[in-house]
């Protein structure tokens, strides 16, 4: 008698501890956004700390428990992007950062989204992670708590804010640099796919 197939939802592809931690991190994004818009910066930093802890734990547990899944690899960067967008949106609305900073970060991700259909023509869903992308995300996610701390600890603002802006500007620069690196990878993949197609056609004619 054939063994019953276990749905992916139940066999650990979706429901496992690392993924649940990622879902929790994403679920906290609206709370984080509300706290920022209400200018409750101390509580917003606490939520960000909890999110950072779950980010560390889901990666650690995924490796430790051998529960690394395709969904988990998608949820992790999605959560990071949502926190970046929420912070940019809220701080722009409250006037704590200029709109051009938010526009620079968001326009880069719009460019990456527009490249996805082209990537699909080469037979790929996503490009492999690049160290520049990780470095830019790290810099941006560190700049935001510092920007908030500058609003909380006004006496130390003259020390905190230059460091926060250094992280923010380096993060934006690296973010775009990583974007151009991804686009170059895409061009190379398209060239490779084109060469394979040409070789197949030549071999068929030769046969």
**Domain limits at 3?**
1-94
Q: What percent of the chain has pLDDT over 90?
A: 25
* Domain limit, last residue, from 59, 76, 94: 94
Residues 10 and 61 in one domain: yes
Of the residues 65, 94, 123, the one at which a domain ends: 94
pLDDT, tens digit, 9 for 90 and up, residues 38-78: 999 999 999 989 998 998 888 888 888 787 778 777 888 88
Which residue in 102, 74, 76 sits closest to 87, CA to CA?
102
Confidence of residue 12 (pLDDT cuts 50, 70, 90): low
Looking at the structure, do residues 84 and 110 belong to the same domain, yes or no? no
Query: Per-residue pLDDT tens for 86-120?
Result: 999 998 998 888 899 889 988 988 888 888 787 77
Would residue 206 count as lying in a domain? no
User: Does 204 map to a domain?
Assistant: no
Question: In terms of pLDDT, which residue wins out, 165 or 133?
Answer: 165
Structural domains of the chain, count: 2
In a domain, 129, yes or no: yes
CA distance 41 to 154: 12
């Amino acid at each position: 008698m054939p063994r019953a197939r276990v749905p992916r939802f139940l066999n650990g592809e979706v429901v496992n501890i690392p993924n649940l931690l990622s879902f929790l991190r994403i679920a906290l994004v609206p709370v984080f956004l509300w706290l920022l818009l209400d200018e409750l910066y101390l509580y917003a930093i606490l939520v960000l700390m909890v999110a950072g802890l779950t980010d560390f734990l889901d990666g650690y547990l995924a490796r430790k428990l051998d529960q690394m899944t395709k969904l988990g690899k998608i949820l992790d960067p999605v959560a990071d992007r949502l926190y970046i967008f929420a912070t940019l949106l809220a701080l722009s609305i409250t006037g704590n950062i200029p709109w051009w900073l938010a526009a620079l970060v968001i326009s880069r991700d719009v460019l990456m989204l527009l490249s996805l259909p082209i990537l699909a023509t080469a037979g790929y869903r996503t490009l492999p992670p690049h160290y520049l992308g990780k470095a830019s995300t790290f810099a941006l996610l560190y700049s935001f708590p510092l920007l908030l701390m500058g609003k909380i600890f006004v006496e130390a603002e003259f020390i905190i804010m230059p460091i926060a802006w250094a992280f923010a500007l380096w993060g934006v620069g690296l973010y775009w640099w990583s974007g151009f690196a991804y686009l170059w990878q895409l061009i190379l993949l398209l060239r490779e796919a084109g060469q394979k197609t040409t070789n197949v056609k030549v071999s068929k004619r030769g046969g």
